[in-house]
Amino acid sequence: MKSVRISWFEIPVTDMRRAIKFYEEVFDCQLNHQDLGDFQMALFPSEEGRDGASGSLVFHRDFYAPSSHSGILIYFFTEDCAQELSRVEKAGGKVLIPKRQINPEMGFMGVFSDSEGNRIGIRSKV
């Protein structure tokens, strides 16, 4: 059977500066902001050849809108999702599902609302 993998994701934002600040604080990383006129992107750091998809925050007045309780839910994978979840509220978001075990094989997960109102998942083995 053929497998299908995610290669790219985009998280819609309404305020790029606020969203960059939020994600940089929560994930303790630096995003690469690209101003393309009426379209803006802020790319998450990634390494070539590593598992997982790359992606960015995106802003365009006509083509993107944050989604709070409908639409796709993406999950970031981290060492221990409790670390990132502990920074969410200070950064301007809200923890919707605190860290909890999925099962022993899959590990743990949590869900938060970002500074723009998007639901975002986070998962870890511990």
* CATH at residue 101: 3.10.180.10
Question: Does residue 97 fall inside a structural domain?
Answer: yes
Of 48-52, 75-79, 85-89, least confident by mean pLDDT is 48-52
Indicate the pTM of the whole model.
Answer: 0.92
Residue-range definition of the domain harbouring residue 46: 8-124
pLDDT single digits (tens) 11-35: 999 999 999 999 999 999 999 999 9
Q: How many domains does the chain have?
A: 1
Please give the share of the chain, as a percent, with pLDDT higher than 90: 83
Q: Is residue 55 part of a domain?
A: yes
Instruction: Please indicate, yes or no, if residue 92 is contained in any of the structural domains.
Output: yes
Burial of 103 (0-12, 13-18, 19+ CB in 10 A): exposed
Q: For residue 49, what pLDDT band results from cuts at 50, 70 and 90? A: low
